[in-house]
């Protein structure tokens, strides 16, 4: 049954019917409350409805809860953690996003998975949120605190093992 539900949800998502997908994932959650895919799928569909369709009636608190439920049910799933971290950035929750991306890095290291692309994109996204929250004032204390993190992520996302490698390259004239 869950395969059929997943197919229905995927079709709705592909058609841009995120509310329809949310309904389908809700059915999956009702029938299989411990199925992480239902919680994760609902969160993804709701996040898309909130951002793509700018539907402010979709509750970010409930999206957060569904992501948390999915992570609790499947704690080693890099995709869920990455999506939740991106959601946190989209909601301007920088400390939560930093925490989740750092957790993603630890998980990726343990699982020997390359997350450089995700990390590079996260760095770009983090800088955008910082710029928005500080009106472009990079000397703002909050900006200073988190720009360092963004730069470290960008460096790692470009495939450098250490900041020292970058310093050596930049200092060579």
Q: How far apart are CA 154 and CA 157, in angstroms?
A: 5
User: Is the pLDDT confidence value at 156 over 80?
Assistant: yes
| Per-chain mean pLDDT for the chain | 89
At 77, give phi and psi (nearest 5°).
Answer: -85, 105
Candidates 8, 82, 17, 93; CA nearest to 48 is 17
Res. 69 pLDDT band, cuts 50 70 90: very high
- The predicted-structure confidence for 70-100, as pLDDT tens digits, reads as follows 999 999 999 999 999 999 999 999 999 999 9
Classify residue 103 by burial, with Cβ atoms within 10 Å: 0-12, 13-18, 19+.
middle
Candidates 69, 67, 81; CA nearest to 111 is 81
Q: Which pLDDT score is estimated for 127?
A: 94
Q: Which pLDDT score is estimated for 88?
A: 95
Q: How far apart are CA 104 and CA 82, in angstroms?
A: 7
pTM: 0.85
Contacts of 25 (CB under 8 A, 6+ apart): 5, 9, 38, 39, 41, 42, 45
**What Cα–Cα distance (Å) separates residue 132 from each residue in 75, 106, 117, 127?**
32, 28, 23, 9
Q: Which pLDDT score is estimated for 166?
A: 75
Tokens of 144: 């200073």
Whether the Cβ atoms of residue 9 and residue 45 lie closer than 8 Å to each other: yes
Sign of CA dihedral 39, 40, 42, 43: positive
Q: How far apart are CA 54 and CA 38, in angstroms?
A: 22
- The predicted-structure confidence for 93-135, as pLDDT tens digits, reads as follows 999 999 999 999 899 888 888 888 989 999 999 999 999 999 9
């Amino acid at each position: 049954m869950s395969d059929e539900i997943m197919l229905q949800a995927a079709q709705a998502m592909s058609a841009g019917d995120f509310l329809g997908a949310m309904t389908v994932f809700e059915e999956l959650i009702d029938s299989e409350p411990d199925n992480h895919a239902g919680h994760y799928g609902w969160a993804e569909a709701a996040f898309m409805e909130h951002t793509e369709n700018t539907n402010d009636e979709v509750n970010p608190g409930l999206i957060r809860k569904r992501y948390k439920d999915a992570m609790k049910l499947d704690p080693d799933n890099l995709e869920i953690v990455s999506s939740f971290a991106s959601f946190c950035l989209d909601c301007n929750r920088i400390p939560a996003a930093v925490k989740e991306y750092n957790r993603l890095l630890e998980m990726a290291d343990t699982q020997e998975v390359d997350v450089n692309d995700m990390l590079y994109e996260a760095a770009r996204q983090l800088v955008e949120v910082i710029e928005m929250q500080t009106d472009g004032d990079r000397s703002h204390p909050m900006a200073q605190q988190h720009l360092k993190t963004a730069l470290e992520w960008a460096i790692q996302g470009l495939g450098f093992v250490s900041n020292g490698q970058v310093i050596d390259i930049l200092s060579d004239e």
